[in-house]
Chains A and B, each alone.
Chain A
């Protein structure tokens, strides 16, 4: 088999292998279905409950995407602001760190208090959890401009805005797009956390109900739905990153 083909097939083969091993383990050790259902019964659950899974997946996806896009806009703006001025940086950084350290599940009750249950707390939790990596990455890109380059531009009479536009922003784009991959994954976490506490919809809620009714394969079906959504969105972000910042991936290191 050629190398390129091996690389293309590898993800599918590994996934398949995992499923097969899982199935075998369940069968060989006679693990009861209510403890760990085998992939085949998870697949059956997906088929059986497909309408519910499909509908709730879309609900989760929608909350996640809205929260994520809000995080992108807000994170980008805040990152540029923080990278722009040392004093803004000094003032906001401890606040952001502290804010990031708060477990977001603890914020959900407050959001429910303010906005009620459902879409709003889920979307906002996704937003809150995913904006931090974007801010930090954009600010890092701006903060690490080579001083020599800055001197070259300043000696031409470039304003701070010029330096930002010509160097700072293009330079922080790889950091920004890199952070989107982390952020979208976190956004799903936020949505599901909120849905399982405060919603009548979404995969988080679906899994909670499945647990209450002891339909264990359906819980796992919910996990699979989340995993698929997560992989697809991550992959989209990776493609976007490659498209927008090809120049930053010129070393052969990652390809080797």
Chain B
């Protein structure tokens, strides 16, 4: 089994074992540095897949490996962001960004000594997503899109090797969403980080990903795997090409069939 993130024949049920599984015989492998997208019907186990891959849940069957290691506890090399920004309202945006550094080693023990360096890093990260100078605002003083950007920054501040995004743009309007596609695309291109993105938006999946995995209805497993060969760097214009739209249509076909 190779791949940076790999799940092999994984089955998982919430609650008591023997209950209806959320995912069953799920096999999937994502290479280092790759941008993978996961699409599928609602409730098919996409979020479950994320939790399995980050060691927040453990399967009753099958193996989960990340960076060549069996996942037996929460993996520490991952950053996560969800549909809700989940920023802490009592911390400023900047302090929210510093939160992972207060937890992850080696930053944690160097927090006091290198505070200034970390603050500079957080500010640079904020600037890179277009939030320069907004660090001292509280999250609730930011718009939804700005909060999402901050949430992305928080997922990236400890320089994780793996970025897990679970419908991060689901709650945003179409324009903000496309803007943030560009942000994610640039982050991925600049850092070579491995990304797993769960989304309902097929255009989003095709625009961003190197490979799209399609999952079946519950219990979820991967039923299709589509390589997106569109050259990088991709511009938003690419979404209007027929090549792009063919892939979107093909994926739509898989999902329609998966729902039946």
Contact = CB atoms under 8 A, between A and B. Distances in A.
Interface residues of B, number: 29
A166 B108 CA distance: 13
Contacts of A154: 56, 74
A156 interface: yes
A167 interface: yes
Interface stretch (A56-64, A71-79, A145-153, A219-227): A145-153
Range for the number of chain A residues in contact with chain B:
20 to 34
A148 B84 CA distance: 8
Contacts, number: 65
A151 B151 CA distance: 14
B90 A152 contact: no
B108 to A, nearest CB: 9
B104 A156 contact: yes
B104 A166 contact: no
11 contacts: A146-B84, A152-B80, A155-B54, A155-B74, A155-B80, A156-B104, A157-B74, A157-B104, A166-B88, A247-B138, A248-B89
B86 A146 contact: yes
Nearest to B83: A148
B57 to A, nearest CB: 10
A153 B54 contact: no
SS class of chain B's interface: helix, strand, loop or mixed?
loop
B149 interface: no
Contacts of A153: 99, 103
Interface in B57-109: 73-76, 78-82, 84, 86, 88-90, 99-100, 102-104
B138 A156 contact: no
A116 interface: no
B103 A166 contact: yes
Nearest to A245: B90
Interface in A29-86: none
B164 to A, nearest CB: 8
A148 B56 CA distance: 11
A27 interface: no
B76 A156 contact: yes
A19 B89 CA distance: 44
A215 B171 CA distance: 68
B21 interface: no
A166 B74 contact: no
A158 interface: yes
A154 B58 CA distance: 14
A129 B134 CA distance: 46
Contacts of B81: 152
Given A170-B88, A247-B90, A155 B75 contact: yes
A247 B89 contact: yes
Instruction: Choose among A157, A171, A247 the residue with the greatest number of B CB atoms under 10 Å from its CB.
Output: A157
B46 interface: no
Contacts of B100: 156
B102 to A, nearest CB: 7
A231 B181 CA distance: 55
Contacts of A157: 73-74, 76, 103-104
Given A151-B80, A155-B80, A247-B140, 11 more contacts: A146-B86, A151-B54, A151-B82, A152-B86, A152-B154, A157-B74, A157-B76, A166-B88, A247-B89, A248-B89, A250-B138
